[in-house]
Structure 1
Amino acid sequence: MEANALYKLAEQLGQVLSAAEYRLVTAESCTGGGIAKICTEVAGSSAWFDCAWVTYSNQSKQDLLGVSAQTLLEHGAVSEATVVEMVQGALKRAKAQVAIAVSGIAGPTGGTVYKPVGAVCIAWLIVGQEVQAKTFYFQGDRSKIRDSAVAEALRYLLSLLQ
C-alpha cells in the first residue's frame, strides 16, 4: 500500500477518534512503530494519539506491557494470545480509550511451517468492549508485509469504531 493511502487511512481514523473524543495507543513489534509513525504524520494528531510502545524483544513485551512469560513460552511472540495481552497492557498503561497491538514475522527470515514469513497477529481494544484479535498472512517483501499490517490495523479499527 502506498504511503498516501496509509496517510488517508490515518487521517480518517483521526477524524473518527476525535469525534468520539477517544485517544489511541499502539503496542508494536514487527511494524517497528509504523502505526504510530503514520498516525503522527497527520497534523493535529496530538488531539487523538496518546503514545506508542515498540516492544521488539520478548523481554520488553513482558517488562513494558505485562505480557506473561507463560504466554510467550506456550504461544510465542507471534500469536493472538500475545497480542491480546499486549493490547490490554497498552490500554492499561496509557491515557487512551483505544489500542492496537501487532506482532508478526516480516521476514525475509524467521518463518516456520506453522508461522511463515508474513504471519502477523493484530489485536484491537476499545474501552468497554471485548478484545478483537486476528491472524493475517501477508505476501511480499519485508516492507510490503509491514505496510500491509499497518493498513489492516488501521482499516479494521475504523470498522470497529464506525
Structure 2
Amino acid sequence: MTVADLLDRAKTLGVTIATAESCTGGMVMAALTDIPGSSAVIDRGFITYTNAAKRDMLGVRKATLDAHGAVSEEVAREMAEGALDFSQATLSVAITGIAGPGGSEFKPEGRVCFALAGEGFDTETQTVEFGAPGRDAVRRAAREHALVLLDRGLSLIASKSGN
C-alpha cells in the first residue's frame, strides 16, 4: 500500500482523515499531504507535543495523564477520539511515544503508543516497542506504522458499509 493508494481508498469511501501526533511532530500528516490531491480527504493534523497541548487541543483529561503518563494507550485513545471530536474527520490516528534519546526502566526509548478511531468501529489501541535504533529511526517507524493503521481503519469502515 502506498500513501497515494491509501488516499485514493479514503476518497472512494468518503472518509476524511485527521492525525494527532506527539513524538512524530507532524510526520504522518506530512506523508499524507505530500501527495497531490490529498486535500480531498485530509481534514487537519494536531501536533500536541506537550501535555498542555494534548489537553487544550484534543481534550485529553488531566486525570488520564496523571494516572498513565503521556506515553500510554489511554492517552493515545483520548488523543485519537479528541481528533475526531475537534475536526470534521471520520478517521483518525494518534501517536505518543519516546523517540529518544532517553526513556526509563518503565517507559524505554522506542516505546510508542497508537490509537485508531473512526466512525462505525470501537477505538483500537496498541503499543509498539521499536527498541533504541535512534530518534530518527523510531520516528520514521512510528510514521509508517500509523499509515498502516489508517489503512486498517479504512478496511474497518469499508466492512461496516459493505464496500
Q: Give the 5 Å matches for 1:87-106.
A: 87-106=80-99
Amino acid aligned to 1:46: S
Q: Give the 5 Å matches for 1:1-162.
A: 9-109=2-102, 111-139=103-131, 140-162=133-155
1:156 is displaced (CA, Å) by: 2.3
Structure 1 contact 9–155 (Cα < 8 Å) conserved: no
Structure 1 contact 119–135 (Cα < 8 Å) conserved: yes
Q: What is the DSSP-based 3-state SS (H/G/I as helix, E as strand, rest coil) of the residue aligned with 1:131?
A: strand
1:15 is displaced (CA, Å) by: 1.3
Identity %: 39
Equivalent pairs, count? 154
Structure 1 contact 24–98 (Cα < 8 Å) conserved: yes
Mapped partners of 2:4, 2:55: distance in 1: 31
Runs of 5+ consecutive residues of structure 1 not aligned to the other structure: 1-7
Structure 1 contact 33–54 (Cα < 8 Å) conserved: yes
Q: What is the DSSP-based 3-state SS (H/G/I as helix, E as strand, rest coil) of the residue aligned with 2:126?
A: strand
Structure 1 contact 9–151 (Cα < 8 Å) conserved: no
Runs of 5+ consecutive residues of structure 2 not aligned to the other structure: 156-163
Mapped partners of 2:4, 2:126: distance in 1: 23
What is the TM-score when the length of structure 1 is the normalising length?
A: 0.92
Residue in structure 2 matched with residue 3 of structure 1 by the alignment? none
Mapped partners of 1:17, 1:24: distance in 2: 8
Structure 1 contact 103–121 (Cα < 8 Å) conserved: yes
1:96 is displaced (CA, Å) by: 0.8
1:97 is displaced (CA, Å) by: 0.4
Bigger CA drift: 137-146 or 77-86?
137-146
Structure 2 contact 58–79 (Cα < 8 Å) conserved: yes
1:160 is displaced (CA, Å) by: 3.3
Mapped partners of 1:159, 1:50: distance in 2: 18
